[in-house]
Amino acid sequence: MDIEEKTRKSVKANGIIKNHMIWSMGAGFIPVPVVDFFAVSAIQLDMIRQLCGVYEIDFKETQGKAFITALTGGMVAQIGARAVKFVPGIGSVLGGVTLAVLSGASTYALGEVFKTHFETGGTFLDFDPSRLKNFYDEQFEKGKDLAKKVKEEQDKEESSSATTDYDSEDPISKLKELNQLKSDGAITQGEYDILKKKIIEG
């Protein structure tokens, strides 16, 4: 593979990883931990399938599922520990945000592991999860930071659009909508306080 071709494939793979990381973060907000674990796993499997397409590797679904389980085993325990999401109205948003970041980080790490393995000439046949686990763990930590940044950017966009929407509504409707946004975790307490003050002051 020449340098130009390798660069082209790497750029395409990076796009696939980023998109699936963001989709995984969305799945992390599903209210039931077991459900969101399976949703994220499905997204991760699709990512691996697409990466195989980029690097012209024969994709095996059964093996792909086994590799995901072998590398992300700790995610199950972390999701179980965050079953606080089951408690109505308490911790659901905080739990969801944390799970979104963990889900995104896990997907990013998996993508980087497979991308690196394929770029160095590896295939499904010589993929060894035990050998690659340390690299996955390193990328998972990096992925947490990236996922947090993505989450912050999404919050800012939602907060900005929320601010725009308030211009044409009556104050009571605005306050109700603002409370809902805060409850859903779309805006922070600080953003809520600023917007509430704007509404009250007209």
List phi, psi (to 5°) of 82.
-100, 25
Rg of the chain over all Cα atoms, to the nearest angstrom? 20
Q: Cα separation of 46 and 141, whole Å?
A: 22
Tell me, what's the pLDDT at 34?
59
pLDDT given for residue 30 in this prediction: 63
Q: Kindly report the number of other CB atoms within 10 A of residue 59's CB atom.
A: 14
Cα separation, 114 vs 141, in Å, equals 17
Q: What are the pLDDT digits (tens) for 21-72? A: 998 888 766 665 555 677 888 999 999 999 999 999 999 999 999 999 999 8
pLDDT of residue 33: 58
Structure tokens at 102: 């963990």
Q: What is the pLDDT of residue 94?
A: 46
**How far apart are alpha carbons 52 and 148 in whole angstroms?**
27
Closest CA to 39 of 30, 48, 47, 52: 30
The helix, strand and coil proportions of the chain, stated in percent and rounded to the nearest 5, come to: 80, 0, 20
CA distance 77 to 33: 11
Q: Is the pLDDT of residue 9 over 90?
A: yes
- Is 18's pLDDT higher than 60? yes
pLDDT of amino acid 193: 79
pLDDT of residue 137: 93
C-beta of residue 53 within 8 angstroms of C-beta of residue 92 = no
- Which residues have a Cβ under 8 Å from the Cβ of 104 and sit 6 or more positions away? 21, 22, 24, 25, 28, 143, 146, 147, 150, 151
Q: What angle do CA 144, 147, 149 make, to 5 degrees?
A: 110
Check if the beta carbon of residue 54 is closer than 8 Å to that of residue 9.
Answer: yes
Q: Assign 93 a pLDDT band (cuts: 50, 70, 90).
A: very low
Query: What does the pLDDT look like over 108-159, one tens digit per residue?
Result: 999 999 999 999 999 999 999 999 999 999 999 999 999 999 888 877 777 7
**Does residue 76 have a pLDDT over 60?**
no
Which pLDDT score, from 0 to 100, does residue 29 have?
A: 67
Element at 115 (helix H, strand E): helix 92-119
Which pLDDT score is estimated for 168? 46
**Gap between the Cα atoms of 85 and 34, Å rounded:** 11
pLDDT, position 117? 96
User: Rounded distance, CA 28 to CA 78, Å?
Assistant: 12
The pLDDT value given to residue 163? 53
- What pLDDT is recorded for position 182? 73
pLDDT for res 89: 44
